[in-house]
Structures are given as structure tokens and as C-alpha cells.
Structure 1
Amino acid sequence: MFVSKITISVVFLAIFCMVFGTDIEVTNITNVECEPTSNDALCYVAEPIVVMPNQSISFALSASQANNILEFSVSYNAKMQIIPRGIFETFHYLEQLKLQGVHLKTLHHSDFENAWNLHNLTLSDNKLERIPSSIFSRAVNLMELYLDGNEILHLENDAFNGLHQLYFLSLNRNRLITLKSFSFSGATHLTDLRLEYNEIDVLEPGVFDLPDLMFLYLGHNQLKAIPDDCFKNMQLIGLDLQSNPITHVGNSIYELKSLRTLILSNTDQITDFSITRMYEVNPLVNVQKKS
């Protein structure tokens, strides 16, 4: 597939509007072409594209070329306050979308209307503050979701509603404080959940009612107590609680008979955890507890 260097006709107008205000009508971004690569299935936009609210984007590709594209990403120099319309409308078979470090501020339900084939979504290192309910529900085939390094304060109930194929979710390096009961309820087959380097100090009952969850990372938060039934009926293989000011771990941790790795490093304030009891109920577990 022939691809040539990107040409964007309205970048300078968009920059002007960002600096001097939006009284001037913002023109849609047209004639975007993909950077030449050895991968015909990848459309990589290397130039510093700027997308304003309500803008759409179009590409200088034939229908057959667009249908070959499975991956789309932009450079770190891009500035996209929103996910522009035109990506999924052009690339009907898109499987991977990477918009990392592009200053995204908000997500809208219309962003993923045509994301029916999307498998991998990376929105890391942006400025997102909230994940609305059912925001990804149209992306029914999504398997991996990366939301690391944003400013997310809370997850609305059913934020991941409809994501029955999702098995990997990363929310590391955000500002989460409370995990509500139904935050992850829509991700029925989630197996790997990463919540490290937040400010989490509350786990509401049932928040980890995820029957397929195998790996749970809660390290480097502000947890002081683990609810007694927090891990009830779970089949965890790996559990990371390191670097939390925990004093109470509860009894359900001893019910994790499938557990193989338990990380409790830098949790010297725990008063009710017994390694002896843990080995009695689960002799195969590896407990890591270093100061």
C-alpha cells in the first residue's frame, strides 16, 4: 500500500484558535496521510496534528487502503482534546488505537460508536478525569484497555459496561480514591486488573466480584484496611498489596487457595497477618514481605 508524508491543511488555523480563542470557525482536518512504514496495516501520524472540539478528521486513502489498516496511532506531539470523528468511520476494521500523551480531556459516548472491531485501546498519559458509565459499551470486542497516567478521580458505576471480552485493564498512575461496588461489573471476564500508584483508601463491598480475575495489583496506594470479605470466592493467582499503610488484611485472604504470589513488601504496620496460617491453607504460595 502506498503511503506518503502527512499533509494537514488546517493545523496552523487550529493552533491559532487554541492560542487566541475559538471565535473563528474551526475547519475540519483533511488530507491526512500516513507516515511511510514497513507495516501496511499501520497508519501512524507523525506530524503534530491539533484537534479542537467538534472537529472531524479525514484521510487521503482509497477505500481498499483504509480497509487494510488495523492499527492507528499518533505522535506525542499531537494535541487532541477529543477523539475526532473520522477514525473509525474510515478504518472499518481497526483493531488497535493508540492515542497516548495527546492531551485528551474528555470521552464521549459517540467516540466509540463504530469501534465494533477494536481489540486494543491505549489512552495513557492524557488528562482524563472521569470514566463515564457505559462509555466503551459499543466497543464490544475490546480485550485490552490502557488508561495509565491520567488524572482519573473516580469510576462511575458500570464504567466498563458491555466489555465482556475485556481481559486486561490498567489504571495505574491515576488519582483514584474510592473503588465503588459496581465500578468493574461490566467487565465480566477481566483477568488482569492494575490499580497501582493511585490514592485508593476505600474498597466498597463487591468491587472485585469478578469470577475470572487472576491478577490484582493494588500496590502503592493508601489502603489501611482490607474488608473481611474482599477476596471471597476469588481465584487469584497473583495479589500485590505492597507499599500500603495496611493494618488489617481480613480473613478472606486465607481463602485464596489458588494464590501463588502474594506481595506484602513495605506493609510493616499489618497486625493480623500470619504467614504460618497462610502456608497452612496454601502451601504453594510465595509470600514476599520485605521492608
Structure 2
Amino acid sequence: MFNSKMKSFIVLFLTFGMGFGGQLEGLRPQPVKVQCEPLANDALCYIATPIQLNPVQSLEFEDMSTSQANNILEFTVSYETKMEIIPHGIFDMFHYLEQLKLQGIGLKTLHHSDFENAWNLHNLTLSDNKLERIPSGIFSRAVNLIELNLDGNLILHLENDAFNGLHQLYYLSLNRNRLITLKSYAFSGAPHLTDLRLEYNEIEVLENGVFDLPDLMFLYLGHNQLKIIPDDCFKNTQLIGLDLQSNQITQLGNSIYDIKTMRTLILLDNDQISDLNSTRIAEMNRLVEIKYKPNSQTLV
């Protein structure tokens, strides 16, 4: 009796399981099939057809051989495309990809798996998306990244290890985000930064050491909410150009006068600087231009 009931149960379970498995198979998200536009530049894969890609879907490239995929150095998509995440397998498909441009596509999150095989990536543009944070070490696999553009997102703060491992990075742009505080080690993972752009944020606080970047030459901090520049803010830089225009600066601090490499200092639209020392400004060896208009007077 028991064996008979058990056999009936097993048959029923297997039958149900097979049927349910078939339903699961049907529910699995199908990859979105795309084609690269025919272009004179065989190294560029551009997807012009607007696509919708949800977080569990992947892209499937039609009519592309392995040799063709290996020739692709740049991948970009139409502005009408919508993706919440970076498509799975981009770097598996395009082994030698150097440039990835995903602008204005509604990107919301980054995952560490996104850049697992991005060993050859040089230029990454993720501007005009909806990113709110940069996870710690998210780009650490992209060891050859040179330029990173994160303009026009919703980034509120930078974790200390956000750019960890980016020893080749020389250009980083975070314009038009929502940054308020820059912590001491925000950029320590990219020690050879040369050009750093942080304009049109809401930056109020610069912690000491945040710009402890010996190769930094150009720093753009215009159109923020800065009031006080810390005394040690620029002590270890080789700045050539510093843009602090359109802030609310009242105290400029001391370290700015020790930048012997300075060629251009922009202080426009900061009308209440109380400690600007014209004598020390004159002693800055190579300074050729200072843009500042206190009380409608120009200091040269």
C-alpha cells in the first residue's frame, strides 16, 4: 500500500515538475537582439534602434562573427535607448573594447561584475544618467582606464575607495552632480589624476588632503557652495589652473599661495574674500592671470 502511494506521488511530482519547468523556461527573459549599424568605421558598434533593456536581460548581437567582434574598439547606443544597468557580457563579446559610451540612457546602478573583463577599457562615459552612488572599488578591474566621465548624474557622495585601482586615470569629470562633501581620500585610488572637474555641484566642505594628488594640474570647482578653503587643501599639488568661480568663499586659506606652478587662478563671483593677500599673490612665481573682481575692481 505504502509503495503504491509513494510511486503515485513520485509520478505526480515528476509530471508536475516537468510542466512547471516548462513554464519556467517560458518565463526566462529573452535576450534583446540588436545589430551594429553599418558604418565606415568597423571599429565602432553603434546601436541606433531604440531598445528597452530590463536588469535581467542581456544583448544578443546578430550576424556578428568572433573576428568582427574582436575588431570593435568602441560601443555606444542611441539616446532613445533605456537601460537601468550596463548590459551583461559587453566585455565578453568585445574583448578589446577601448571606449564605452552610455549617455542619457537611464542608467541607475553599477555592479562589480559590469567591469570584470574591462582590462582594455580606456574611456568610459556614463554621463546624463541616474546614478546616485559610486560603489567602492567598482572600477578596479578596469585597470587601464584613462578617462572617466560621470557628468550629469545624481551622485551625492564618493566613498573613499570609489576609484580604487585606477592608476592610469588622468581625467575625471563629475560636473552637474549633487556632491556636498569631498572626503579626504575620495580620489586616493587614482593617484595620477591630472584633470579633475567638479563644477555645478553643491560642494560645501573640502576635507584636508582631498587633493593630495601630486600630478594634479587642472582643478575645476566653480559653481559650488564653498565658503572656506582649508589651509592644507592644495599643499601637495602642481596645479597650473584652479577655477573657484561662483562660490561663496570668505577665506581662501594659505596653501594656495604655495602653488609655485600656478598660471591661472579664477575667483570671479566671490565677493566676500577677507584674506586675499596681494603681496603673496605677487610672489607666486609663474602666475600670469588672476580673475577676481572685488567690489567691481579687478585685481591683477
Q: Give me the TM-score of the superposition, normalised by structure 1.
A: 0.90
Alignment partner of 1:146 is 2:139: no
Please name the residue that 1:57 is paired with. 59
Q: SS at 1:281's partner residue?
A: coil
Please name the residue that 1:48 is paired with. 50
Q: SS at 2:37's partner residue?
A: coil
Code of the aligned partner of 1:273: L
Superposed counterparts of 1:9-158, under 5 Å? 25=27, 27-60=29-62, 61-158=64-161
Deviation, structure 1 residue 272: 0.3
| Aligned-partner Cα distance in 2 for 1:212–1:26 | 50
Alignment partner of 1:220 is 2:209: no
Deviation, structure 1 residue 30: 4.1
Code of the aligned partner of 2:95: H
User: In the alignment, which of 174, 181, 199 is matched to residue 184 of structure 2?
Assistant: 181
| Aligned-partner Cα distance in 1 for 2:224–2:287 | 27
Deviation, structure 1 residue 29: 2.4
Deviation, structure 1 residue 158: 1.1
| Aligned-partner Cα distance in 2 for 1:107–1:134 | 11
Code of the aligned partner of 2:48: A
Unaligned runs of 5+ in 2: 1-25
Write out per-residue CA displacement over residues 100-135 of structure 1, whole angstroms, 9 at most, x where no aligned residue: 000000000000001000000000000000001100
Higher CA-based Rg:
2
**Retained in 2: the 8 A contact 1:243–1:264?**
yes
| Aligned-partner Cα distance in 2 for 1:25–1:89 | 25
Unaligned runs of 5+ in 1: 1-23
Please name the residue that 1:13 is paired with. none
Code of the aligned partner of 1:158: D
User: In the alignment, which of 268, 272, 277 is matched to residue 280 of structure 2?
Assistant: 277
**Retained in 1: the 8 A contact 2:29–2:56?**
no
Q: Please identify which structure carries the higher helix content.
A: 2
| Aligned-partner Cα distance in 2 for 1:113–1:233 | 33
Deviation, structure 1 residue 26: 5.7
Deviation, structure 1 residue 31: 3.2
| Aligned-partner Cα distance in 2 for 1:155–1:175 | 11
Code of the aligned partner of 1:66: A
Q: SS at 2:283's partner residue?
A: helix
Rate the CA distance shift 1:287–1:48 in 2: closer, same or farther, 3 A: same
Write out per-residue CA displacement over residues 37-72 of structure 1, whole angstroms, 9 at most, x where no aligned residue: 111100000011111112221212100000000000
Q: SS at 1:239's partner residue?
A: strand
Q: SS at 2:269's partner residue?
A: coil
**Retained in 1: the 8 A contact 2:228–2:251?**
yes
Query: Which 4+ stretches in 1 moved above 3 angstroms?
Result: none
Q: Give me the TM-score of the superposition, normalised by structure 2.
A: 0.87
Please name the residue that 1:247 is paired with. 250
| Aligned-partner Cα distance in 2 for 1:26–1:155 | 36
**Retained in 1: the 8 A contact 2:193–2:215?**
yes
Task: State the aligned residue count.
Answer: 268
